[in-house]
Amino acid sequence: MNCGKDDSGTCCGLCDFNPVVVIATHERVDITTKNINSLKLQHPTPKIVIVCSTQEELEYYKTLGVSVALEPNRPLGRKWQCGVNIARNLDANPLIIAGSDDILSKTFLRDSLRKILEGYELIGSTSWYTWDVKKDMYYYCRYQAANVDYPIGSGRVYSKELLKRINYKVFDTSADRKLDDQGNRIAVSNNAKIYLFREPEILAVKGRWVQMNSADDYLRSPNIKAQSVRKEDIINFNI
């Protein structure tokens, strides 16, 4: 039983899942460690796969009780797919993609698995919180205009049924950019039943490390509505 601390309770229906979270990371040890520790507090607790690009990081992540692989940081698609392949060997059900500096909400696993029980095959999010560590500013961000129904890359959940249909080819191993676009196209072209969280289930942490999109990028984008919020408004995350 894995229904809660009191095993006499009615089964929640989530016990048969085997969630596996894949994270590709590079030079983000502190925030990725916080990400891992946050995931370990989820219910049900997922298996975690870390794909890093230096031997030093490999040895460090091994001490955290997660699966670890070493893969060059470029092309990024090959690095991510390496993690997917490991998740396949772990019999992922479902597979969850998480950014190395993105914290999933305390209830993310529970909320996502319930949607899979309802028959959805791809779970995504169209809104998120952003924490700009350098400025100590917090933002509520959501897609609008052309991206209103587009799921962000982090926090995508692929059901086992969808993974089988796409033969676990989630990423283009030759690609270095637009990986989110490709993952979404694959799901759509394979007639995946998609559910989109409209309220934030993800906290993007922007710190002093290399970023594909900064908090300022979000504020400038015509396809993103970003508004400042208080730290006290962000209560459903382990940070």
The model's pTM is 0.93
- In this structure, what token pair is assigned to residue 215? 């908090």
Q: Which residue has the tokens 């007639």?
A: 191
Rounded Cα gap, residues 112 and 123, in angstroms: 7
Which of 61, 58, 47, 87 has its CA nearest to residue 171?
Answer: 87
- Given this model, what pLDDT does residue 2 score? 45
Strands lying side by side in the sheet with 95-97: 67-70, 47-52, 20-24, 95-97, 156-158, 122-125, 194-197
Kindly write down the DSSP assignment for every residue of 27-89, as one continuous string: S-HHHHHHHHHHHTTSSSPPEEEEEESSHHHHHHHHTTTSEEEE--SSSHHHHHHHHHHHHHH
Which has the minimum average pLDDT: 70-79, 197-206, 230-239? 230-239
Kindly write down the DSSP assignment for every residue of 171-227, as one continuous string: S-TT-SS-HHHHHHHHHHHTT--EEEE-S--EEEEE-SS--SS-HHHHHH-TTEEEE
121-139 pLDDT per residue, tens: 999 999 999 999 999 999 9
Instruction: Please name the residues in contact with 163: beta carbons below 8 A apart, sequence gap of 6 or more.
Output: 88, 92, 94, 95, 170
Domains (ranges, CATH) in the chain?
20-233 (3.90.550.10)
- Given this model, what pLDDT does residue 209 score? 77
- Given this model, what pLDDT does residue 7 score? 55
Identity of the amino acid at 138: Y
Residue 11: pLDDT above 70? no
Q: Tell me the pLDDT band of 181, cut-offs 50, 70 and 90.
A: confident
Tell how far CA 100 is from the center of its chain: 8
Kindly state the average pLDDT of the residues 72-96: 97
Rounded Cα gap, residues 239 and 223, in angstroms: 27
Q: Which residue has the tokens 């006499």?
A: 8
Pairing of strands 156-158, 102-104: unpaired
Rounded Cα gap, residues 165 and 129, in angstroms: 32
200-211 pLDDT per residue, tens: 999 999 988 777
Rounded Cα gap, residues 238 and 35, in angstroms: 9
